[in-house]
Homo-oligomer: A and B are copies of this chain.
Amino acid sequence: MTGATGPGDPPGEFELIARHFAPLAGPGAFGLADDAATLDVPAGQSLVVTKDMLLEGVHFFRHDAPASIAHKALAVNLSDLAAKGAKPLGFLLGFGRTRAQDEAWCAGFASGLARLAKASGCALLGGDTVNAAALTLSVTAFGTVPQGRMVQRQGGEPGDAVYVSGTIGDAALGLALRIAPDVAWGKALTEAQRAFLFDRYLHPQARLALAPALLAHASGAMDVSDGLVGDGDKLASRLGGRFEIGDVPLSPAARAALLAEPALIETILTGGDDYEILGAVAPQEAQAFEQAAREAGVPVTRIGQLGEAGGVRLWCNPDGSERAFTRRSYAHSF
C-alpha cells in the first residue's frame, strides 16, 4: 500500500497507513511497506478473485460512519466470494480519499475494516492510496475453492430449483427511508423495524456460512446486489426460468411496509444491496442443500426454477399472471 504526498495534502499519508492500516496486514503483505504482496495458494486450490468499487453518493452517503463504509466495502466483496463457494483469504484496498478523510475518519474506517476482516479471516494485503475529489473505495478480495470448483453464475441446468437466502428488499427500503424519512409507509413501522432496515442498508452481511453448502450442492450462484429481478435475470440468462413473487422471502419489517404501501413490491424486488445469495440447485440435490443451509444457520427459500435453453424469464404474481417491471435493476445512485 503506497501513497504520494505533496504540498497540498493533509500531512502524514504514510503515517496514517502505518498507524491505522498496517495492524490489519496479513502474511505476505510485508507490513504494507511494499508495492505488492504475495499470496500462496494451497495445493489443490484455485484462487477466486473479485473486485467491487464503491463511491460516495452512489454506494454510501458521504456522512455515513466511516466504520460502516469500511464494513460495506469489504462485505460486498466477501458476498461475491460466498456466492462462489469460496473461503476468504485476503484483500487489497484502493483508497481514493478526499480532505474529509482525516486522521479521526481513518481511525474509524480502519476499526470497521479490522472487525470484519478478522471475523471473516480475510487479512489486508496491500493497496493504493490516492487523492480524489470524492471518496472512492476499490476492494479486490481473494478466496479459495477446491481446484476448478468455483460456483459459476451460469452453471445452472434446465429444471434446477432456484433458491435465495435470507430476506429480500430490506436494504432498498432502508435506503428509501433514509432519503424520505417522513414517507407515509414509514410511519407504519416500529422503531425497531426502521432500525432493522437501516442496518440492512448500512451493514450488509456476507453469507460466508453458506459457501460450503453452495460448493457441495449448487450448480450456479451469485449474490443479489443489483436487485432480485435483474440478478435473477442474470442467473437465468442462459436457460430462462420462472420466479414466483409470492415465494420471495420478506422480513417482518418489509411485510409491514408492503402492507402499508403495496406499490413497494417494486422497490423490494428491484432495489439493490440485498447481498443475499441466489443459487440454482439440481432437484436431486435440493434436500441436501436445504439441510446443509439449515446446519449453517442460513435460511434459504425456493423461489423458482430454471427453464430450458433459450427460454424466457418470467416473474409471476401469486395468481399466475406475469409481472412487468418499470426497471429490473437498481441504478445504485441517489
Contacts and interface: CB of A to CB of B under 8 A. Distances in A.
Interface of A: 2, 4-9, 28, 30, 33-41, 43, 46-55, 57-59, 80-81, 83-84, 86, 92-94, 96, 125-128, 130-134, 136, 138, 140, 142, 145, 147-148, 150, 152-154, 222-223, 225-226, 230, 234, 237, 272, 327, 329-333
B272 A51 contact: no
Given A6-B330, A53-B96, A30 B152 contact: yes
17 contacts: A8-B333, A9-B331, A35-B50, A35-B222, A35-B225, A36-B80, A37-B48, A38-B145, A39-B47, A40-B148, A41-B47, A51-B127, A51-B140, A55-B133, A59-B130, A94-B138, A133-B133
Contact of A33 (B39, B54, B145, B153): B153
A152 B4 contact: no
A3 to B, nearest CB: 9
A327 B35 contact: no
A142 B37 CA distance: 10
Task: Enumerate the 8 nearest inter-chain pairs by beta-carbon distance, A residue then B residue, closest first.
Answer: A6-B331, A138-B138, A36-B50, A140-B140, A39-B47, A38-B46, A4-B332, A51-B92
- Say how many copies of this protein the assembly contains: 2
B126 A50 contact: yes
A98 to B, nearest CB: 11
A84 B36 contact: yes
Contact of A30 (B9, B43, B81, B154): B154
Contacts of A35: 50, 80, 83-84, 153, 222-223, 225
Contact of A7 (B147, B272, B327): B327
A38 B150 contact: yes
A210 to B, nearest CB: 15
B53 A8 contact: no
Nearest to A84: B36
A331 B4 contact: yes
B147 A40 contact: yes
